[in-house]
Amino acid sequence: MTKGTTKRMIIMLLLAAIVFGGIYAFQQFRNKMIQQGIKGQANPPQSVSTTVAKMATWQPSVEAVGNLRASNGTNLAAEVSGIVKAIHFDSGEMVKTGQLLLELNADPLKAQLKQLYAAVGLAKQNFKRDFAQHKMQAVSQATVDNSAANLKSALAEVTMQKAIIAQKSIRAPFAGQLGIRLVDLGQYLAAGTALVNLQKLDPMYLDFTVPQDQIDMIHVGENVDVQTSAFPNKVFVGTISAIEPQVDIATRNLKARASIPNPDGELLPGLFATARVNRGEEKQYVTLPNSAIAYNPYGSTVFIVNNKGNKADGKPKLEVEQRFVTTGLTRGDQVAVLSGLEANEIVVTSGQLKLRNGTPVYINNSVQPSNNPNPEVKDE
C-alpha cells in the first residue's frame, strides 16, 4: 500500500467519525429536549368550572313525575254493525250517565221481535192446554214438560232479540265530556268502530313512581302538590288515593296514584306533571348542583379545589382533591350532601373526567351548569 493511499483512508475514517459523532450528538440533544418538554408538560393545568358549597334550607319531600289521566275515559264504539239512523250528541258536549248518544237502524230486528212475541203467545196456549189435559190424564207428563220447554225457549229468544236491539243504541256509560264526533248520519259502522271519545275530567288521576328508599314518605290520604307547564303559576292540590302493594322488581320503584279535583276541567288527560309530597320539618343541608357529583359503583365523589400558595407570577396555585361524599335528597338540579363536605368549600362542577388527585387547575366560570331547585316542567 502506498503512502498516498494510506493518507486517503485516514482522511475517510476521520470524516466518517465526524459524521457519526455529529449524528450521535444531535440524537442526544433531541432526546434531552423531548424529555425536558415532557417533564414540563406532564401535568398541565386543566380548565374547570366551580361553585361554592353552601348551606340551604330543605323541606323533606318526595318529588316525582307522571302523566295525568281521567278518572274514567274510553273511546265509545258499537258492539254490532249497522247504519247510523240518528245522532243525539254534539262534539265537546257534556253528557250524563245513560244518555242516548247514537242509534243504529234496528227496524228489521224490531219486526222480528213481533214474530217472536207471536211464538211466545202460541207456546203459552200450548202449555196451558197440555197442562189442563194432563190434569184429566189426557196427555202424559212428557208432553207437558215439552210444552214448558218450548215456552221457555220462546221467552229466551225474545230476551235475546231485545238485547240485540239494545246494542243498536249507544249510551254514555258514565258522565263526562265528549270529544270530536267520528261518525256521520247514514254511515255504515262495523262492530268496534270508534264513535267518539268520552272522558270524566273530575277528578283527574296522576300516576307516578317513587324509589324504594322513599316508600316510607308516602301514604294514602296525604296531600300532593301537582304542577304542570300548561299552568306554570298554579299549584293543584290532590290526595294520594292508592299505592301499589308491590315494588317493580325491574326499576325498584313503587307506583302511586293521586286524585286531583278538577271542577273547571282545566287539567286534561295526557298532560305531563310533577307531584310533590312534603314531609316533616325544614332542615339545613350542604347543597351542590347535581353535575358536581360523580356517581360510581364504589361511592359518590367530588373534586375540591385547594389553594397551594402562589406561583412565580403571583397567581394562586390551585390543585384538586378527590373526596368521597354521602348524598341525600334531590330537588330539581340540586342534591343535598350529608357528609364528606363542608360549607364554603370550592367544588368542581364540570371538567371532572380529566382530573385526579393533585391535578393543577385554573377556574373558568364563564359557563355554569344548571342549579335550579325548581326547574320548569316541560311536556314530553
* Per-residue model confidence as pLDDT tens for the chain (380 residues): 565 666 677 777 777 767 666 676 667 666 665 555 444 445 688 889 999 999 988 877 778 888 999 989 999 998 889 999 999 998 989 999 999 999 998 888 888 888 888 888 888 888 788 777 877 777 788 887 788 888 888 889 888 988 888 888 899 999 999 999 999 999 998 988 899 999 999 899 999 988 887 888 888 888 898 988 888 888 999 999 999 999 988 888 889 999 999 998 899 999 999 888 877 677 889 999 999 999 988 889 999 999 887 776 767 888 999 999 999 878 778 899 999 999 999 999 988 888 888 899 888 888 888 877 766 655 44
In this structure, is residue 3 part of a structural domain? Answer: no
CATH of the domain at 351: 2.40.420.20
Considering the domain boundaries, does residue 17 fall inside one? no
Q: Are residues 270 and 287 in the same domain?
A: no
DSSP letter string over 196-233? EEEEEEEEEEEEEEEEGGGGGG--TT-EEEEEETTSTT
Residues 92 and 146 both lie in one domain: yes
274 and 306 inside one domain: no
Whether residue 179 sits in one domain with residue 128: yes
Number of domains in the chain: 3
Q: Please answer whether residues 344 and 197 qualify as being in contact, where contact means their C-beta atoms are separated by less than 8 angstroms.
A: no
Boundary of a domain, candidates 247, 278, 309: 278
Residue 354 lies in a domain: yes
Q: Are residues 181 and 326 in the same domain?
A: no
Residues 86 and 184 in one domain: yes
Cell 293543584 found at: 236
Q: What whole-number distance in Å separates Cα of residue 301 and Cα of residue 335? A: 13
Tell me if 356 is assigned to some domain: yes
Residue 237's contacts (CB-CB under 8 Å, 6 or more residues apart) are 223, 224, 225, 226, 260, 261
Do residues 289 and 304 both lie within one domain? yes
Q: Would residue 306 count as lying in a domain?
A: yes
258 close to 51: Cβ distance less than 8 angstroms: no
Please list, residue by residue across 198-212, b when 16 or more beta carbons sit within 10 angstroms of its beta carbon and e when fewer do. Answer: bbbbbbbbbbbbbee
301 and 232 in one domain? no
Q: Do 178 and 103 have their domain in common?
A: yes
Neighbour count for residue 347 (Cβ, 10 Å): 23
CATH number at residue 243: 2.40.30.170
Q: Decide if 67 is inside a domain.
A: yes
Where does a domain end: 123, 158, 189? 189
Judgement on whether residues 228 and 288 belong to the same structural domain of the protein: no
Parent domain of 137: 78-189
Residue 175 burial by Cβ neighbours in a 10 Å radius (0-12, 13-18, 19+): middle
Is the same domain home to 273 and 290? no
Residue 373 lies in a domain: no
Evaluate whether 335 touches 285 at the Cβ level (below 8 Å).
no
Within this chain, do residues 163 and 82 fall inside the same structural domain, yes or no? Answer: yes
Q: What is the DSSP string of 116-181?
A: HHHHHHHHHHHHHHHHHHHHTTSS-HHHHHHHHHHHHHHHHHHHHHHHHHHHTEEE-SSSEEE---
- Report helix, strand and coil shares of the chain as percent, to nearest 5: 30, 40, 30
Cα–Cα distance for residue pair 30/50, rounded to 1 Å: 40
Residue 195 lies in a domain: no
Cell of 4: 498516498
- The interaxial angle of helices 107-135 and 141-167, nearest 10 deg, is 160
Domain closes at, from 134, 162, 189 = 189
Which residue, chain included where needed, has cell 301514604? 219
